[in-house]
Structure 1
């Protein structure tokens, strides 16, 4: 092949002809060209234009994904023209991207806490992870759960329907959970640098937390004797108990924070000395001076105090107050002062406020509690003077007000009413109209003076919290616009810590993430939420009012699990679940897009969530058509397409029907294809957000293909499944969504022993003892041939091996097998005589160059979708397809070159006639093959007889022969354990045909996909009467019991069994299979969920699912596939560990101590299989075997495994109606 020489970014490159610029750039790692509509397994599309590059000599930029390389081409991938064009393309796409990258509540939170995320984790039942998520932005979650002003709730979209989600109440539930402080903070290694922090309020504590986590030593200097600042001294204990604050402080100290209380900066140590001692300073000194009412006599009258003095005093000493107390103000400090006075036995408490209750800035719930406690609220009145007698307060002179025009705060300005003055007799006046800073000793330093605002607060860069002095940062009440609320101070501490860390490392702060939000165009409003049903908000539970008097016990007692479930369910999950990996958002951030550039009309679409597994949000669709093109690769008749033209173009299901009503097979591969959040999955559990997951790679265990999957785990049985992430690696609906079975069904978590009609939970040791005693007892009384062990073909090889050992070494019986295989007439070693092994002759890659594919007794689209994709792609590239099934689907008839429908159980007549015709016409010959004479002896087959007995046309045989004649690379696909269209001798016919075709020079392979994951492993591991472990044939003088699967079936049907151990199968759910066990004196079962069989068992052991059990399985190709334990089993033990424990109770020495030992042992046992990284050494030759077709349809056994039952239920009721019960 002549290579093409070209230049890319000035570098000379050689590449193969036919490649695109994008492919060459990526192969040579020359640049990271952005793409949205491109995916390597799909044909180039070139719609998004974000991958454009400049080619010398061409007037216009070209899409690199669709432009083939040419000799002497010169390409630039990142000049200014290219960058500007990409930015414009992104801005155009985003101009019609009506979406919320993050939820309004998260954006509304000053600290940017992932509110939607922790609500989702709470809904999932993962409180510890939820609290940890809060702490990623806010290290005081328990404090905020009690005192936060809930700015997140102010912007909650739910309020457009009824009332905001009780976000803070959910946080209270989470922080009250027993594991809220269970984890240790994860900190980077120490940097050797330290930061001095002035003040231990919310800003100082927050800065210490984040600095400590970054490996920077935080040292806090607190003037008071106790930590917490205004959290302790400004908020009464009935709202924020000391022990709650203490817990938070102690947890922050685990990051290495050092706290020195009773140290006043400017008195005990100078700011200058502190700056010299530390690499940087953060001043969070708070605002401890109360604002004046500006009335004469307030500073020298006994009985007039500020809230800033009153609350700290009562925090340390709760001396009672008497008489009438008047509190001036309408904020939270006023509420706290009034409610504290009431608790301290004031005869009467009045809150005086110059506006109305509606304008009060205090927390609405605080106002409600205040009024419940009997505090009076005097609205539209303001103090104008003090009446005193002998220097003591006698009354407060007030004036009535009215509301005028709105002021700068947006509230209507209070206007005095002339002649409305009155005196309000009282014994104590508390001024709570605001606070000021006192920064004496906190501004002067050798290098200059820290600049202050006119409000006596530090001038800071609000992004970095940096003052005008190098290395000095400030935040909280003492900075910028002055006193504020706890969550604002937490934001300042968080920002300061990040900024200080960057400054110390001489690095720039990271840019703020790029986000799109719907409010950019306009607030969505109720119309958009029209289908959301109203749901009453749940509030915190509180103690009764009469219990509060004379008590500082916490008023709010908490939130119940039921309340939490209700409120998390009310969450609308507004933010995008693809925030972290949305290509559009990430490219927008990288290229610095300007949302205002093309701002204009935006199309708004209704989100379609009618599909049980998928959500389609057309507002986020960028029309890249990756989902459509992926669907075309998977289905002969795709379910998705583009409708409309121009600006009105949309991606929609066929005929604009609900997706579930189309040809959609619910495989979810469109979700993987989508570069934005337009197509997303529904989780089989509550909660929906973009969250970090623990990702573990393993394989699917539903069928014998064993596709690679990624399990994305949020924790505690909350996980979902995606594909491997490799281009072209797809999943079927079972592989992607089948985990709903394991999550939604109740799990067996303990060993159970029946006593009468009830079950007792017992340790496994006790359960083991009962099984050993009773199984051996029955074997002694009735003979070991009357005892059996049965295993599900879904289990691992390791579980098969242990079950085999328990049967043969523990009980002394050769009755070991799978009811699912035995009951459907499955035969052991069916190809051993022909090939020397019973497995596929190749892997699925043999399809890649095939020119004829024969599918017999298959329903690939339903049973083995991923194999069907390979077949469809090959057919689209010109390969011929023959399908033979008694029932032909629309897809069969649409795709197949020849679709044949022999009568059920008679397909072998058809294929035998085809083979005979091939021999008669000289296309193939048995002459040079071993077994020829025996094969031809007594052989009787003809085209007309075969067609007649099979119920097909003669033309079907002749057309099949013609297609075979013209083919050079043939692949035969036949499901060996699918009873629907199995017929006697069919697989032997295909083996003979394959051998003769190979001899005739036609490369031919046989693929044998199994319906159940590890059917092939049964023989290999000795879980079959005909074989010992290692697939060693059983000897004639073997243990008592069956010698073949047919023998074991006869024992079952005769009712001779007296005891059985059934692992992972459910025969007692059906009359036919249940009758096999009617005479059992003892029945043991093992499963991961309760079944009719476990309910009937004397002893039940908990099992585990394929996602929970590490081990190996043999796939249909004959490869040993390694499975990882991706999820922890609820019982705490995997099925392998449970069986190992039972084997040991039988006195069997097991060798399952490590994965390495197990796989080494398996490698020795399965030499005729591929092992990881090896290929089977087969020369393509074998022995012809005589065949005699019979007209006999296989009996269709009820589904005995969970996977079989799941698939059957879905097929019977349809995806749209199926629900896991």
Structure 2
């Protein structure tokens, strides 16, 4: 059974977060991009706007704060640059699928089905594909060239986009059923909820989604000096931030929930507050106030006693006679999205009481043969990445349907990795999170231009190094273990327990590799380290074994500056204490001119006491080198003090080797 780390489990598409952070640490950004894109056809979009549930589950939070996973994804997609073409299926099945809606769920389903070899057409009433990504997300959060890059790759896989074609008006569902072998409805939520309260039928009341769409298209909808936004979700916060950029002098968000209860992401609320948005949480609207001439002057609100009832359902109750007046000349409603289902008329498909399209839980089938549905028209509002996951599932189900196979039951075979033991968390050295650089709140509130500037390579490497490689720890081979207590003695975290043989907790082990390097019986394996080999082809190479923390300062650019002397092969290890004698000997056996070991200084390593235990390995290596006739000067050890650049030390070492080789 597969063991999933919490970050991957929290991601609706189960992105291999741990894998792509490891690839970043190795500076293999192409591999990192491929791992991100493996389960997500919107890698660039999600790098900008994903609500990153992975970070909420990150076990690093038990030590200090979560790893900045979304920021690292952004670094990767920008590091690899634009991709031009997605690979197409090599053969075609002769089956045709129509997808209604070009949002994240629809385009994901279309992408997957095209790669299965089916002919796929996506119908949408809009001019450009992208759904709410294109229409509703503010451009300061998602630059449209980023979206177009991902959509272009999806279409290049063989997906046909049919724009400005409204199903139910220009073509019926029955016509699609006659032309295609399967139809998938992925139309999302485009309607807005209203309020049956005095004044809310005023023609000047704005609705959130049309307001955002107009702003994103550059139409600059007019807002007054004082804007009142009613709602507590991410859309409401987007509306408030957009209103500021459109010239409002004062923007207030009225939410029935208290701040900690608001469904909007905490980080987006914080950014809105920084920009000058004012929150009025814990109040519900009662009436829109109008002047004698019918002009909006404000909103009367009432203090909320409780948002949820005893059963946990949303059912606000109010403090009697506790009101206040919120002045405003513009009111924008953002209290929830609803399906628009007029396109279903005449199709025989029925919606539930809330307007959603019911489907079979396992097959996503609707009430019409060959018609399936996925995304928010089925599930209700949710995360963008959840819509992507829904599209994946629909494509898998429809693919099986087209092959004449039954749908598989919901669920998968995996086990979730448990929490980090408290006694281990206390021993993990604290490492500062690398924040996303951005424009000042004042600067960013002046325009719809993007305000997040992206991580530098140095910051990305440092942040990726904060990942604890959860679940990739050491494994003991009981038949080899002599119960000698060595692992228990050297482990910086006190994880091994030795009885008849050693046991190493998968929740507690942080894959530092010290125990595997020290085990005299070779009974401990570590997946990430067992794969290390020294790939060199001639005697002009120098091999540098560097602690992961040191690697952030030994960039490719810096190594290139000294490559005139020798080609350099950088081998990253979790900590210098993980250094194994056989790696050093392998390097010399393959003809390396020299081997350098670059370690962190005291208190700098990501593992406590990281460099201390490698000195014994170096002594044994020098003894064996002497027996083999290899000068001990060819093995070099250096330690990085805080803020120190090791490149000058390595340059001096390279020059000394050159003198040895010349003589």
Both proteins in one fold, TM over 0.5: yes
1:286 is paired with a residue whose SS is: coil
CA deviation after TM superposition for structure 1 residue 530, in Å: 2.7
State whether residues 302 and 393 of structure 1, in contact with CA within 8 Å, keep that contact through their aligned partners in structure 2.
no
How far apart are the structure 1 equivalents of 2:558 and 2:436?
36
1:1092 aligns with 2:656: yes
> Among 415, 424, 429, which residue is 1:516 paired with?
415
Deviations 1:408-428 (A, max 9, x none): 5588x6431222233333211
- CA distance in 2: counterparts of 1:233 and 1:214, whole angstroms: 29
Deviation at 1:508, TM superposition (A): 4.3
SS state of the match for residue 169, structure 1? helix
Does structure 2 conserve the Cα–Cα contact (< 8 Å) formed by 1:324 and 1:428?
A: yes
Structure of higher RCO (CA pairs closer than 8 Å, 6+ residues apart): 2
1:231 Cα deviation (Å)?
0.9
Structure 1 residues 339-366: Cα deviation after superposition (integer angstroms, max 9, x where no partner): 0000000121111111221111111111
Displacement after TM superposition at 1:179 (Å) = 3.7
| TM alignment of 1:123-162, pairs within 5 A | 123-162=25-64
Which one of 184, 189, 200 corresponds to residue 287 of structure 1? 189
Partner of 2:140: 238
1:220 pairs with 2:122? yes
Matches of 2:93 and 2:444, distance apart in 1: 49
**1:844-859 maps to which residues of 2 (within 5 A)?**
none
Partner of residue 564, structure 1: 460
Cα 1:640–1:111 change in 2 (3 A) is closer
Assess, with a 3 A threshold, how the Cα gap between structure 1 residues 536 and 407 changes in structure 2: closer, same or farther. farther
The 8 Å contact of residues 1066 and 1093 in structure 1, kept in 2 or not, is answered as no
Structure 1 residue 451 displacement after superposition = 3.9
Q: 1:536 and 2:432 equivalent?
A: yes
Deviation at 1:273, TM superposition (A): 1.0
Match of 1:497 in 2: 395
- SS in structure 2 of the partner of residue 541 of structure 1: coil
Matched, 1:470 2:369: yes
1:435 and 2:325 correspond: no
Decide whether aligned partners of structure 1 residues 220 and 163 sit closer, same or farther in structure 2, where only a CA change above 3 A counts: same
| Pairwise CA distance, 1:115 | 1.6
The residue aligned with 1:457 is: 356
Judged with a 3 Å threshold, the aligned counterparts in structure 2 of structure 1 residues 254 and 762 are, in CA distance, closer, same or farther, namely farther
Partner of 1:381: 283
Alpha-carbon deviations, 1:431-458, whole Å to 9, x = none?
A: 111100011123643xxx2342222111
Q: Which runs of 5+ in 1 are unaligned?
A: 1-93, 95-99, 578-614, 642-646, 672-678, 685-711, 713-718, 723-738, 753-757, 765-791, 800-817, 819-861, 864-886, 888-976, 981-1010, 1013-1064, 1071-1088, 1099-1199, 1201-1221
Deviation at 1:129, TM superposition (A): 1.5
**Alpha-carbon distance, 1:247 to partner:** 0.7
Cα distance, 1:525 vs. partner?
5.7
Q: Which residue of structure 2 aligns with residue 626 of structure 1?
A: 479
- 2:381 maps to which residue? 483
**Secondary structure of 2:256 counterpart:** coil
Is the 8 Å Cα contact of residues 100 and 122 (structure 2) preserved in structure 1?
yes
CA contact (8 A) 2:474 2:516 kept: no
Which residue of structure 1 lines up, in the alignment, with residue 174 of structure 2?
272
Determine helix, strand or coil for the equivalent of 1:430: strand
Once residues 400 and 307 of structure 2 are traced to their aligned partners in structure 1, the CA distance between those partners, rounded to angstroms, is 48
Alpha-carbon shift at residue 135 of structure 1 (Å):
1.5
Aligned to 1:651: 501
Give yes or no for contact 1:222–1:264 (8 Å, CA) kept in 2: yes
Asked if 2 retains the 8 angstrom alpha-carbon contact of 1:683 and 1:720, the reply is no
Query: In the alignment, what sits opposite 1:401?
Result: 304
Q: Which residue of 2 aligns with 1:545?
A: 441
Structure 1 residues 656-679: Cα deviation after superposition (integer angstroms, max 9, x where no partner): xx99899966674x45xxxxxxx4
5 Å matches for 1:351-370? 351-370=253-272
Are 1:748 and 1:1090, in contact at CA under 8 Å, matched by a contact in 2?
no
Distance in 1, Cα, partners of 2:57 & 2:513: 33
Cα offset, 1:1095, TM superposition = 5.5
Does the 8 A contact of 1:208 with 1:257 survive in 2? yes
Deviations 1:722-758 (A, max 9, x none): 9xxxxxxxxxxxxxxxx99466498999999xxxxx9
Measured against aligned partners, the alpha-carbon deviations of 1:968-1023 in whole angstroms (never above 9, x if no partner) come to xxxxxxxxx9996xxxxxxxxxxxxxxxxxxxxxxxxxxxxxx69xxxxxxxxxxx
Of residues 186, 194, 209 in structure 2, which corresponds to 1:308? 209
How far does residue 650 in structure 1 lie from its aligned partner after superposition?
A: 4.6
Deviation string, structure 1 residues 740-792 (Cα, Å, up to 9, x no partner)? 9466498999999xxxxx9895999xxxxxxxxxxxxxxxxxxxxxxxxxxx9
Pick aligned residue for 2:526 from 675, 680, 692: 680
Q: How far does the alpha carbon of each residue in 1:379-429 deviate from its partner, in whole angstroms, 9 at most, with x for none? A: 221111122244442322222223466665588x64312222333332111
Per-residue deviation, residues 246-282 of structure 1 (Å, max 9, x unmatched): 1111111121111111110001111111122222111
For the residues of structure 2 that align with 1:659 and 1:128, how far apart are their CA atoms? 26
Residues 210 and 497, structure 1, Cα contact 8 Å, conserved in 2: yes
Match of 2:243 among 324, 341, 361: 341
Whole-Å separation in 1 of the counterparts to 2:559 and 2:25: 29
Deviation at 1:298? 1.9
The answer as to 2:317 corresponding to 1:415 is yes
Please identify the structure whose Cα radius of gyration is greater.
Answer: 1
Task: Determine if contact 1:304/1:428 at 8 Å carries over to the other structure.
Answer: yes
The answer to whether the Cα contact below 8 Å between 1:1067 and 1:1093 also exists between their aligned partners in 2 is no
Alpha-carbon distance in structure 1 between the residues aligned to 2:278 and 2:517: 67
Distance, in Å, in 1 between the alignment partners of 2:220 and 2:658 is 63
Root-mean-square deviation (CA), in Å? 4.2
CA drift at 1:510: 5.9
Shift of 1:518: 4.6
Q: Which residue of 2 aligns with 1:927?
A: none
- How many Å separate the matches in 2 of 1:127 and 1:324? 46
CA distance in 1, matches of 2:144, 2:556: 43
Whether the 8 Å contact between 2:359 and 2:365 is mirrored in structure 1 is yes
Query: Cα–Cα, structure 1 residues 414 and 465, in superposed 2: closer, same or farther, change >3 Å?
Result: same
Is 1:322 the equivalent of 2:175? no
Checking the alignment, whether the CA contact within 8 Å between 1:1066 and 1:1091 is kept in structure 2 is no
Closer/same/farther in 2, CA of residues 185 and 463 from structure 1, 3 Å limit: farther
Q: Residue 331 of structure 1 aligns with which residue?
A: 233
Distance change in 2, residues 1:661/1:458 (3 Å) = closer
Closer, same or farther in 2 for the Cα pair 1:419/1:495, shift >3 Å?
A: same
Q: Is the 8 A contact 1:326 1:429 kept in 2?
A: yes
Write the mapping of 1:645-1044 to structure 2, written as runs, cut at 5 A: 650-652=500-502, 668=522, 670=523, 679-683=525-529, 719-720=532-533, 741=543, 744=546
> Structure 1 residues 190, 721: CA separation in 2 closer, same or farther (over 3 Å shift)?
farther
Please give the TM-score of this superposition, normalised by the length of structure 2. Answer: 0.76
Q: SS at the partner of 1:333?
A: helix
SS in 2 for 1:420: strand
Q: Is the 8 A contact 2:71 2:455 kept in 1?
A: yes
Cα distance, 1:459 vs structure 2: 1.2
CA distance in 1, matches of 2:480, 2:99: 53
Take 1:489 and 1:660, find their aligned partners in 2: how far apart are those partners? 42
Question: C-alpha displacement at 1:524, in angstroms?
Answer: 5.0
Q: Is the 8 A contact 2:222 2:246 kept in 1?
A: yes
TM-score, scaled to structure 1: 0.43
